[in-house]
Structure 1
Amino acid sequence: MAAKIDHIVFDIGKVLIHYDPNLPYARVIPDGKERRWFFENVCTHEWNLEQDRGRKWEDAEALLVEQYPEREEQIRAFRKYWHEMVPHAYDGSVAIMGGLIDKGRDVTMLTNFAADTFVQARQIFPFLNRPRGVTVSGEIGLIKPDVAIYEKHARDFGLTPEASIFIDDSQANVEGARAAGWQAVHFKDAETLRQDLIAHGIEV
């Protein structure tokens, strides 16, 4: 029998809000093949992840502009049009989170997010202010799935690992939480999440 869950921890991107860099870049680089090349070679996932780890956008942009000076405008478009990459919330999972908070459950968030874009996200999506608190990777220099970020979150918010459940769309991040002694579920959609929480004894 799994431990009783006292703490519910949500990831944000692709769990509570949609994220897709292609949205503004379909306009910035209309040719699909070129856009794919750009994301695979210039503004890569790995490059963006360093901003989640705390690197400043100015430094990130300068690094790429030096390598690809002819693409300066396209490189700077990533931060400039970031707000267009998060066009809407996932109403179903937001409703589940809100319902848990309304029932008095302890809800926090743990996210790989650049510090400044998270400030912007909170303005766009006020429900991000509802949980008890959040650990933002870009503010602390640690990113999921590093076990250290889960341990820090547990310490900072007084969570008992085995009584905590983590919800993330990335299987690697789910495994990171389990490695830290947490329970965890892989997010697919709101209905699956509802069933997963019920299976862990959480009234939704």
Structure 2
Amino acid sequence: MQPQAVVFDIGNVLIEWQPERFYDATIGPDRRRAMFAAVDLHGMNDRVDMGHHFTQTIYTTAEAYPEWRDEIRMWHDHWIELATPAIDRSVRLLRALRAKGVPVFSLTNFGIESFDYAATQYPFLLEFDRPYISGHMGVIKPDPKIYQMVEDDCGVTPGALLFTDDRPDNIAAADARGWQTHLFTGPDDWADRLVATGLLTEEEAQ
């Protein structure tokens, strides 16, 4: 079945999301490893993605770990440096699909305030026909509920949705619901998949 709508993850699909890389560059790999071992920073970020307040969540965590206070606050104060750069070819593919009249949705684990801020730096985040932002939905991937919420809202049957994400667990959850899926490993393979489905020509996918 040719997909009727394409669903993009954002982190590491449209924008690189590499907190460890940022910290390696700012505090060094050894100190970064020690901090990530002592503090569940990704768990903190999951709370933001579930709708907890961006600033309050991070600053409260920082106060709970005074030895890492300044470094944890960087997750907030230097957030855009953790989420950079844009993956330009993926952005072009998003726009090429929309130019062809293909409905394009986002499905992303993203906080409310952090998404609003990101959109000021990356205007293409506001170009989706339907944005599904976990912070507003109160649930994160790979919980099956978030996929069901997309299905219930968008009006497209699961088998007609083509979803790309960089995390195998998120892809497996979509597979289980009957979605068409593509594990994102880079924009070139994703472009090839969109061409193979007939949604874009080779020229349109450049």
- Aligned pair 1:17/2:15, yes or no? yes
Equivalent residue letter for 1:62: T
Which of 51, 54, 59 pairs up with 1:54? 51
Q: Secondary structure at the match of 1:96?
A: helix
Give the letter for the 1:11 counterpart: D
Matched AA of 2:3: I
Match of 1:113 in 2: 110
Q: CA deviation at 1:197?
A: 2.0
1: CA distance, partners of 2:178 / 2:25? 44
* Equivalence for 2:129: 132
Aligned-residue offset at 1:87: 2.3
**What is the RMSD of the two structures over their aligned residues, measured on CA atoms?**
1.7
Alpha-carbon distance in structure 2 between the residues aligned to 1:59 and 1:130: 28
Distance 1:72 1:80 in 2: 12
The 4+ residue runs of structure 1 with deviation greater than 6 A are none
Alignment gaps of 5+ in structure 1:
none
Shift of 1:163: 0.6
Change in 2 beyond 3 A, CA 1:195/1:27 = closer
Distance 1:27 1:201, change over 3 A: closer
SS in 1 for 2:86: coil
Task: Figure out how many residues of one structure are paired with residues of the other and give that number.
Answer: 200
Please give the secondary structure, in 1, of the residue aligned with 2:182: strand
Q: Which residue of 1 aligns with 2:63?
A: 65
Q: Provide the C-alpha distance between the structure 2 equivalents of 1:32 and 1:178, rounded to a whole number of angstroms.
A: 36
8 Å Cα contact 1:18-1:89 kept in structure 2 = yes
Name 1:202's counterpart in structure 2. 199
| Offset at residue 59 of structure 1 (A) | 3.5
Contact 1:53 1:143 survives alignment (8 Å): yes
TM-score normalised by the chain length of structure 2: 0.89
Contact (CA 8 Å) 1:165, 1:182: kept in 2 or not?
Answer: yes
**Identity of matched residues, %:** 35
Query: Aligned AA for 2:8?
Result: F
Q: For residues 110-168 of structure 1, give each alpha carbon's deviation from its aligned partner in whole angstroms, at most 9, with x where no partner exists.
A: 00011111001111111111121211111111111111101101222222111111011
